[in-house]
Amino acid sequence: MFTPLFRRERLIRFSDCDPAGIVFYPQYFVMFNGLVEDWVSEGLGVGYAALVIDRRIGLPTVRLEADFTAVSRMGDTVALELAVERLGTRSLTLALRCVGIEGDVRMRMRQVIVLTSLENHRAIAIPEDLRRAIARAQER
Amino acid sequence: MFTPLFRRERLIRFSDCDPAGIVFYPQYFVMFNGLVEDWVSEGLGVGYAALVIDRRIGLPTVRLEADFTAVSRMGDTVALELAVERLGTRSLTLALRCVGIEGDVRMRMRQVIVLTSLENHRAIAIPEDLRRAIARAQER
Amino acid sequence: MFTPLFRRERLIRFSDCDPAGIVFYPQYFVMFNGLVEDWVSEGLGVGYAALVIDRRIGLPTVRLEADFTAVSRMGDTVALELAVERLGTRSLTLALRCVGIEGDVRMRMRQVIVLTSLENHRAIAIPEDLRRAIARAQER
Amino acid sequence: MFTPLFRRERLIRFSDCDPAGIVFYPQYFVMFNGLVEDWVSEGLGVGYAALVIDRRIGLPTVRLEADFTAVSRMGDTVALELAVERLGTRSLTLALRCVGIEGDVRMRMRQVIVLTSLENHRAIAIPEDLRRAIARAQER
């Protein structure tokens, strides 16, 4: 069972689609990047832009596995959903899904994100405010 | 004076920005493409996706002039605004602006869009439902 | 051991990079999409554009696993490499790598591509000319 | 008459195109951004990446005018061409064209680029090495 911690609806746009008329698959990762941004800022209350710009902390992806099970077309409204699978010391494993309005899964992925210093791109411990906010969100 | 017919707020995202930390300028055109999409669908009530997919009508840009007057940064909320400058037989001239929340203009452009058949990419007359909806919106 | 069937060097550009100054990870998938295009057209001698446009055949990704092991920066020249792991009836499993000039692996992925009809997005058998060209390339 | 100072051929890729099967127009600006990069690095011998990363100099666009005269399709090989219209103290006006192999113009634009400090995004004088290299290229 997939119980999302955070969810956003989004319209599939002309600019998301390829000459086959469906979402160009790298664009799913751009959409999920936006979802993580919104989750951190709005869901967790830790400003994403401030994290990157002021605190110089990066959230690069170190591993992902993705399954594309159905196409999404221009004009579709999809829901992007996020759950936390594992909260490590320096890394975070997310489960993400893109589903159609009727709940049909279009794409699902598991993504391991590492927190890094943007000075040297080395892994750092997840900042305390972010860790606490994630732990609290998981308890609910 | 710029009086927008249609307006949408949008967060500047990580994926909109370049290594200089500001919006990569081609991304403004992607944002405005989305604005035109929303205007046609929501503002005018003519389904944009149906126009392209079912009715096989394209809305390519044939000319644009753009001025970039201030930078937009990740985390900024901007307003994208649209006005109609000229409604021709086969073409449409739009004035578009991206402004910060305080009203400071970041970028403005004039864009000439032509309606085309997606079968042969030749110009066609603006479809009657779209023309009427635009004319009505201008009168208000 | 990874023995590439096809390889292309590519400059990491300003437009590939994010505000952290490194390749925005979805961009790796865009780069690999271009590599597959060049492999099909130049390596296998089966025109990729004709496949999509004239023959109405799609090559969507149904599964991928990717590991990001080191960052790539603007100005880096990287090699994109491709090997065939499995040639199925309707699908193709590729192993792909992005390596720096000194051979350091930046990103590697396994990608399952399915051949589809662009009329209905359903899987079809790999076209005979493409299958034969891949088989021949593997034998060499 | 347009006499290019710098020219590069480029294949129009799947990822450059939209659901109408033609180049998504913002993608022309991404292509030209790459052309300017190659011109600065290879044509002028002033490393573009070093300019941005080490010297912290930006080259944002402050104005552009573009005309789109014919479509480019996936699989087309186009030539991207660049000429210098004006070399100012802090700005540079370029004329750019995208032409098909038979010389048919697909898109042309005039672009004003300003040199800026990436610390504060304010205009600076064009660095001496870059200015001299451009002046030399124009004399040839």
Nearest CA in chain D to B118: D20
> Does the beta carbon of C48 lie under 8 angstroms from any beta carbon of chain D?
yes
Give the model's pLDDT for residue D112. 98
- The sheet carrying C105-114 orders its strands as A6-11, A77-87, A91-100, A105-114, A61-68, C61-68, C105-114, C91-100, C77-87, C6-11
Give the model's pLDDT for residue D115. 97
Nearest CA in chain D to C56: D21
Torsion angle (degrees, nearest 10) of CA D8, D11, D14, D20? 80
Q: Is A119 helix (H, G, I), strand (E, B) or coil?
A: coil
The enclosing H or E element of A136 equals: helix A128-139
Whose CA is closest to A14, among C94, C132, B35, C77?
Answer: B35
pLDDT tens digits along B29-46: 999 999 999 999 999 999
Can you name the residues that pair with C117 across neighbouring β-strands?
A: C57
Give the model's pLDDT for residue D140. 81
- Please list every residue in chain A whose beta carbon sits closer than 8 Å to the beta carbon of residue B74: 49, 52-53
Q: How confident is the model at residue B118 (pLDDT cuts 50, 70, 90)?
A: very high
pLDDT tens digits along A35-94: 999 999 999 999 999 999 999 999 999 999 999 999 999 999 999 999 999 999 999 999
Give the model's pLDDT for residue C26. 98
> Does the beta carbon of B42 lie under 8 angstroms from any beta carbon of chain C?
no
Q: How much is the ipTM here? A: 0.96
> Does the beta carbon of B24 lie under 8 angstroms from any beta carbon of chain A?
no
> How far is A1 from chain B, CA to nearest CA, in Å?
30
> How far is C118 from chain D, CA to nearest CA, in Å?
12
Alpha-carbon distance of B8 to B138, in angstroms, equals 18
First-residue to last-residue Cα distance in chain B: 17
Q: Tell if the CB–CB gap between B53 and A75 is shorter than 8 Å.
A: yes
Give the model's pLDDT for residue A2. 86
pLDDT tens digits along A80-139: 999 999 999 999 999 999 999 999 999 999 999 999 999 999 999 999 999 999 999 999
Beta strands in chain A (DSSP E): 6-11, 57-58, 61-68, 77-87, 91-100, 105-114, 116-117
Identify which of C21, C65, C118 has the shortest CB distance to residue A65.
C65
- Please list every residue in chain B whose beta carbon sits closer than 8 Å to the beta carbon of residue C19: 14, 17-19, 21, 74
CB pairs < 8 Å spanning B and C: 22
> Does the beta carbon of C93 lie under 8 angstroms from any beta carbon of chain A?
no
Alpha-carbon distance of C96 to C34, in angstroms, equals 12
> Does the beta carbon of C58 lie under 8 angstroms from any beta carbon of chain A?
yes
Q: Which chains touch C (3 or more CB pairs under 8 A)?
A: A, B, D
> Does the beta carbon of C118 lie under 8 angstroms from any beta carbon of chain D?
no
Q: Which amino acid is at C23?
A: V
pLDDT tens digits along C50-66: 999 999 999 999 999 99
Residue B22 CA, distance from chain mean position? 21
Alpha-carbon distance of C19 to A75, in angstroms, equals 30
pLDDT tens digits along C20-54: 889 999 999 999 999 999 999 999 999 999 999 99
- Please list every residue in chain A whose beta carbon sits closer than 8 Å to the beta carbon of residue D18: 14-15, 17-19
Beta strands in D14-90 (DSSP E): 57-58, 61-68, 77-87
D58, D117 in Cβ contact below 8 A? yes
Identify which of A20, A22, A29 has the shortest CB distance to residue C26.
A29
Residue matched to tokens 């409604």:
B87
Optimal mutation site among D18, D56, D57, D61, interface B, most CBs of chain B within 10 A: D61
Alpha-carbon distance of B131 to A66, in angstroms, equals 43
Q: How confident is the model at residue C106 (pLDDT cuts 50, 70, 90)?
A: very high
C131, C87 in Cβ contact below 8 A? yes
Alpha-carbon distance of B77 to D20, in angstroms, equals 31
C115, C134 in Cβ contact below 8 A? no
> Does the beta carbon of B71 lie under 8 angstroms from any beta carbon of chain D?
yes
pLDDT tens digits along B12-33: 999 999 998 899 999 999 999 9
Alpha-carbon distance of C57 to C48, in angstroms, equals 9
D96, D46 in Cβ contact below 8 A? no
> Does the beta carbon of C119 lie under 8 angstroms from any beta carbon of chain A?
no
Whose CA is closest to D44, among D84, D10, D77?
Answer: D84
Nearest CA in chain C to B15: C18
- Using the predicted structure, report yes or no on whether residue D68 has a pLDDT greater than 90: yes
Q: Tell if the CB–CB gap between C30 and A29 is shorter than 8 Å.
A: no
Question: What tokens does D128 get?
Answer: 């001496």
pTM score, whole prediction? 0.97
> Does the beta carbon of D29 lie under 8 angstroms from any beta carbon of chain C?
no
Q: Tell if the CB–CB gap between D66 and B68 is shorter than 8 Å.
A: no
- Please list every residue in chain A whose beta carbon sits closer than 8 Å to the beta carbon of residue D24: 15
Q: Tell if the CB–CB gap between D118 and B66 is shorter than 8 Å.
A: no
Optimal mutation site among D35, D65, D107, D110, interface B, most CBs of chain B within 10 A: D65
- Using the predicted structure, report yes or no on whether residue A140 has a pLDDT greater than 90: no
Whose CA is closest to B1, among B85, B66, B63?
Answer: B85
Q: What's B106's DSSP letter?
A: E
Is the alpha carbon torsion for A64, A68, A74, A80 positive or negative? negative
> Does the beta carbon of B39 lie under 8 angstroms from any beta carbon of chain A?
no
C3 against B113, higher pLDDT? B113
- Using the predicted structure, report yes or no on whether residue B1 has a pLDDT greater than 80: no
Alpha-carbon distance of D131 to D134, in angstroms, equals 5
- Using the predicted structure, report yes or no on whether residue B60 has a pLDDT greater than 90: yes
Average the pLDDT over D77-91 and give the result: 97
CB pairs < 8 Å spanning A and D: 23
Nearest CA in chain A to B47: A75
Alpha-carbon distance of D17 to D27, in angstroms, equals 8
Optimal mutation site among B13, B17, B18, B53, interface C, most CBs of chain C within 10 A: B18
pLDDT tens digits along B61-90: 999 999 999 999 999 999 999 999 999 999
Average the pLDDT over D27-51 and give the result: 97
> How far is A66 from chain D, CA to nearest CA, in Å?
20
> Does the beta carbon of D74 lie under 8 angstroms from any beta carbon of chain A?
yes
Nearest CA in chain D to C15: D30
> Does the beta carbon of B34 lie under 8 angstroms from any beta carbon of chain A?
yes
Give the model's pLDDT for residue A124. 98
> Does the beta carbon of B53 lie under 8 angstroms from any beta carbon of chain A?
yes
